[in-house]
Amino acid sequence: NSIINDGTPIVMFDRTTDEVECDKVIVDDFDSGQNATQHLIDLGCKNIALISSVDNLSVGKLRAEGYLQALKVNNIDVNENIIIRTESDHDLADKINTLYSNNLIDGVFALDENDSVAALKVGVKKGYKIPKDLKIIGFADGILASRRLSPSLTTVSQHGIDIGEVAVKLLIDRLESKDEHKPYETVIIKTQLKERESTK
Which strands form 23-27's sheet, in the order they lie side by side? Answer: 11-13, 23-27, 186-189
Number of helices and strands in the chain (H, E): 7, 9
Query: What letter represents residue 36's amino acid?
Result: A
Task: Give this prediction's pTM.
Answer: 0.91
At residue 134's C-alpha, the angle toward residues 132 and 137, to 5°, is 115
Determine phi and psi for 182, rounding to 5 degrees.
-60, 125
Along the 200 residues of the chain, how does pLDDT read in single tens digits?
899 889 899 999 988 888 999 999 999 999 999 999 999 999 999 999 999 999 999 899 999 999 999 999 999 999 999 999 999 989 999 999 999 999 999 999 999 989 999 999 999 999 999 999 999 999 876 766 566 788 999 999 988 899 999 999 999 999 999 998 899 999 999 999 999 999 99
Is the Cβ–Cβ distance between 36 and 160 less than 8 Å?
no
Distance from C-alpha of 24 to C-alpha of 12, rounded to nearest angstrom: 5
- The secondary element (H helix, E strand) that includes residue 2 is helix 2-5
Q: What is the reported pLDDT for 17?
A: 87
Give the CA count within 13 Å in the CB-facing half-sphere of 135: 22
Q: What is the reported pLDDT for 144?
A: 63
- What's the Rg (C-alpha) of the chain? 19
Question: At 187, is the secondary structure helix, strand, or coil?
Answer: strand
Residue 110 Cα distances to 82, 113, 173, 183, angstroms: 12, 8, 36, 36
Q: What is the reported pLDDT for 180?
A: 84
